[in-house]
A and B are shown apart, each in its own frame.
Chain A
Amino acid sequence: MSSHGNHQPGDGDYQLVAQHTDGVVSIAVRGRIEVENAQQLLNDIVAHLEGRPREVVLDLSGVNYFDSGGGAVLISLRQRLAREGGGLRIDGSTPAIDGFLSLVDQDALLKPPSPTRRPVGLVTQIGAATLEVLSDAREIVAFTGEVIVGLRDALLHPRRVRWRETWLYMERAGTDALPIVALISFLMGLITAFQAAVQLSQFGADIYVANLVGLSIVRELGPLMTAIIAAGRSGAAFAAEIGTMKVSDEVDALTTMGFDRTRFLVTPKVVALTLMLPCLTLFADLVGILGGLIVSVAGLALPAEVYLRQTRIALTIWDVYSGLIKSVAFALLVAGIGCLRGFQASTGAESVGRITTSAIVAGIFLIIIADAVFTVVFHYWGA
């Protein structure tokens, strides 16, 4: 039994002629076989394989361009025929096809991919996560010890502190942060004053807007917002910098040179942020009060001197101190977690991205926890 068919697809750059003879399908392909038309060609060839032929003979001598797409067609066809008990023979080829096929290890293609990791059960996952948390906690404790020792050394031997780097970090974490701190604090003061004015004006208590803005900014919002900005700017920068150094073996190089990684990499950052964050907080307090002042003067027709006098009456010096004490603690937490996460980088850009995100998230989390602790402590202390 024999049949003859001529197929010439309109959108492909190839011509295909098929002939059926006693269970053997002879197919001649001419033209280009490339990635763009590979799927179409495979479909066209498969359309001629009805009746499970025992052999397919391909004549590719008329192919004038052949790339990986053609290779995929041949290998797919071979795999399909092997599954159905047939065979594929190439009868007529070109140097390009020969060269391509000589490079491909076709037996290796039939093997399943090497398993990289076994699926793990729920209990194992919970166990692994617990161990990870414990290991992280141990690292945090050990690193806290390292930082405390580093800061003690810095206090006992100030000349050993690497001040050149410390000045640089003070500029980056402090001066460079002034515009964003100013903007956020101003808006916080503005928003707080607006919200307070809407409520207090109903009772004719407009003047107490100054109390509300002053207290909330100085005691709470000023230190908190400044610390959160520092976590996003400086904490992330510290983590990314140390993480990149870790990935490129610079941290190992420091260690093998006999240098203390804490003194070189951690202390300058922690000292810089601890010195700068209270300054930024003070600045944020002033700008926040200014935001409230503008709303009160423009919206409530309060004279500026009345607003400022009321603010002075509302605030005690302890309110300012408590905000500054908090900011010192926040600085230690933000800088510390940033540096720690940096040292936890393993390999590659993806790892640096992960630890940087973690530095910000953990930094903000620790700031909020510490703020809650301070609130409780100050309450019982009577402040």
Chain B
Amino acid sequence: MTNESIPAPATARPQPAPAERPVIEVRDLVARYGEQIVLNNVSCSVRRGEIFVIVGGSGCGKTTLLKNIIGLQRPASGTVLVEGEDITRADEDQLRRIQRKFGVTFQTGALFASLTLGENIALLLEEYTPLPRETIDLLVRIKLSMVKLAGFEDFMISELSGGMKKRAALARAMALDPSILFFDEPSAGLDPVTSAGLDALIVQVNRSLGTTMVVVTHELASIFTIADRVIMLDGETKTIIAEGDPRELRDHSSDPRVHAFFNRKPGSTAPGRRNDRGDRSP
């Protein structure tokens, strides 16, 4: 196979058929910590192949919404349908099966420090596929080359820089070819150049593989670069106050909170209060 035989990357944004069923549907979701309501009647849907971004001020419940969608937390009420299956009512086996469709990258990377980078990715392939060692090693190198980390498979996690860890986490999340990728604050703690590189990689993976992506972030530069569609959560009303194209919202939203957020002006959102679980809630 020569380089000439490799076609140019697909750059066109995947356009879902209008009638196609959403990949993820959140209906009337209520999340609470104890008596404190964090999300109140939140409803939204994610279309196949899009980059869907959840934005909002600190402590408005973005991560709580993400954790409810991926089944790490159960809501007080409401449903979350992932490719038609209700994750909120799934038993342990069903939950595990649904979660096999996901890849998740966490804010801190959450790579296993006791393993090498290659072992972090191989772990999933060893557990969930019948492949021989040689093919697993090749797949590990393929995944690492996708995130520009080819050749680093024998490095320990502590030997990687912050940006490399984020890319490594993406490679691990992609290990089993998930149809949906979730990102919790992918740019947190990165310098602008590294952050822009990661944004470009996220978009490239999305355009090339058509993977549906749900991203939680409040980094404006990232939002404008990667988002096909955003929802904005509000810490006071505990619900969605805006939905649509981020540029449209920036330029044309009449809601002062939305306008202030997307134009980086002070006083846009109410900060959340830290609850006893260490999370932030409104």
A128 to chain B, nearest CB (A): 17
Is B81 an interface position by the 8 A CB rule? no
User: Please, which residue of chain A has its CB at the minimum distance from the CB of B144?
Assistant: A108
Q: Mark A80-99, 1 if CB is under 8 A from B, else 0.
A: 00000001111001011011
User: Please, which residue of chain A has its CB at the minimum distance from the CB of B118?
Assistant: A113
- How many cross-chain pairs have Cβ atoms below 8 Å apart between A and B? 127
In the complex, how many residues of chain B place their beta carbon closer than 8 angstroms to a beta carbon of chain A?
Answer: 44
Is A308 an interface position by the 8 A CB rule? no
Is A102 an interface position by the 8 A CB rule? yes
Of the candidates B1, B142, B159, B209, which one forms a contact with A90 in the assembled complex, judged by CB atoms under 8 Å apart? B1
A116 touches B138 (CB 8 A): no
Q: Bound complex: CA of A34 vs CA of B113, how far in Å?
A: 30
Q: Mark A104-117, 1 if CB is under 8 A from B, else 0.
A: 11101101111110
B142 touches A109 (CB 8 A): yes
A111 touches B151 (CB 8 A): yes
B142 touches A88 (CB 8 A): no
Of the candidates B130, B150, B154, B156, which one forms a contact with A108 in the assembled complex, judged by CB atoms under 8 Å apart? B150
Q: Bound complex: CA of A86 vs CA of B226, how far in Å?
A: 41
User: Please, which residue of chain B has its CB at the minimum distance from the CB of A117?
Assistant: B154
Is A64 an interface position by the 8 A CB rule? no
Interface stretch, picked from A70-78, A230-238, A275-283, A373-381, is: A70-78
In the complex, how many residues of chain A place their beta carbon closer than 8 angstroms to a beta carbon of chain B?
Answer: 45
B120 to chain A, nearest CB (A): 12
Is A68 an interface position by the 8 A CB rule? yes
Is A24 an interface position by the 8 A CB rule? no
Residues of B within 8 A of A112 (CB): 151
B16 to chain A, nearest CB (A): 14
B158 to chain A, nearest CB (A): 5
Residues of B within 8 A of A109 (CB): 138, 141-142, 145, 150
A96 touches B210 (CB 8 A): yes
B209 touches A103 (CB 8 A): yes
Of the candidates B7, B138, B154, B204, which one forms a contact with A101 in the assembled complex, judged by CB atoms under 8 Å apart? B7
B113 touches A99 (CB 8 A): no
A72 to chain B, nearest CB (A): 5
> Quick one: which of B175-224 are within 8 Å of A by CB?
176-177, 204-205, 207-210
CB<8 Å pairs between A and B, sample of 30: A35-B125, A35-B131, A35-B139, A35-B176, A36-B129, A38-B131, A68-B139, A68-B143, A71-B139, A75-B138, A76-B135, A77-B1, A87-B1, A87-B2, A88-B1, A89-B5, A90-B1, A90-B5, A99-B10, A99-B207, A99-B210, A102-B10, A103-B9, A106-B1, A106-B145, A114-B151, A116-B159, A348-B114, A348-B158, A350-B113
In the A-B complex, list the 9 residue pairs whose CB atoms are closest, starting with the nearest: A348-B113, A102-B9, A108-B150, A99-B208, A350-B114, A88-B1, A67-B177, A98-B7, A78-B1
A residues adjacent to B (C-beta < 8 A) = 34-36, 38-39, 67-69, 71-72, 74-78, 87-90, 93, 95-96, 98-106, 108-109, 111-116, 346-351
